């Protein structure tokens, strides 16, 4: 039995805009935690300068490393603003056009549909938390910046399980009850 949902152009635009914006943000986070981590970069800078017979302190190397990675991390901010816009538009769209899936509280919804609804609502809660704490870090009072940063960093951990569940659900749907789902979310 296929549900054959139709995805209007605005739904697809919001879906893919949000998805791509969040993936770019995830990339900036992974770069910042890995290859572009300040101490790792500082060590590479010091090693490169040492080959030129130049010696700088650890503190100086970290300052240079931070200035290099801050250019990249500005993309995190830009795409964070994009996520804020896309998720706000998505909420407006859902309020105007309804949900594309049954409510988690619907008596007619199957267990799978209720699970799907809860996953989406937890995802949207995570996005709202990420966006609001990101905006507080950027524009809020300094007195709560540390708390906002802590919550903002923790909020990342909703995204990776969501991607995994989302992709597993897509594959399951595509090969069982909702054949053509992928082509409909891409082309309508």
Q: How confident is the model over 9-50, as pLDDT tens digits? A: 999 999 999 999 999 999 998 898 888 999 999 999 999 999
**pTM for the whole thing?**
0.83
C-alpha–C-alpha distance, residues 41 and 37, integer Å: 6
Does residue 135 sit in helix, strand or coil? helix
**Both tokens assigned to 47:** 């090693």
In angstroms, how far apart are the furthest CA atoms of the chain? 73
| 171 compared with 3, residue with greater pLDDT | 171
146 φ/ψ angles, rounded to the nearest 5 degrees: -65, -45
Phi-psi region of 53 (alpha: psi -120 to 50; beta: other; left: phi over 0): left
């Amino acid at each position: 039995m296929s549900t054959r949902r139709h995805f209007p152009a605005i739904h697809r635009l919001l879906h893919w805009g949000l998805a791509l914006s969040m993936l770019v943000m995830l990339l900036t986070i992974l770069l910042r935690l890995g290859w572009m981590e300040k101490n790792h970069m500082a060590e590479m800078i010091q090693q490169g300068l040492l080959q030129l017979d130049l010696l700088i302190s650890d503190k100086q190397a970290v300052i240079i490393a931070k200035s290099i990675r801050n250019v990249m991390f500005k993309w995190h901010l830009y795409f964070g603003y994009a996520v804020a816009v896309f998720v706000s538009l998505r909420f407006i769209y859902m309020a105007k056009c309804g949900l594309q899936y049954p409510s988690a509280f619907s008596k007619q919804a199957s267990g799978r549909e209720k699970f799907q609804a809860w996953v989406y609502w937890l995802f949207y809660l995570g996005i709202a938390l990420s966006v609001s704490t990101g905006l507080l870090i950027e524009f809020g009072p300094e007195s709560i910046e540390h708390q906002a940063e802590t919550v903002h960093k923790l909020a990342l951990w909703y995204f990776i399980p969501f991607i995994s569940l989302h992709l597993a659900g897509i594959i399951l749907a595509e090969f069982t009850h909702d054949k053509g789902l992928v082509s409909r979310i891409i082309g309508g």
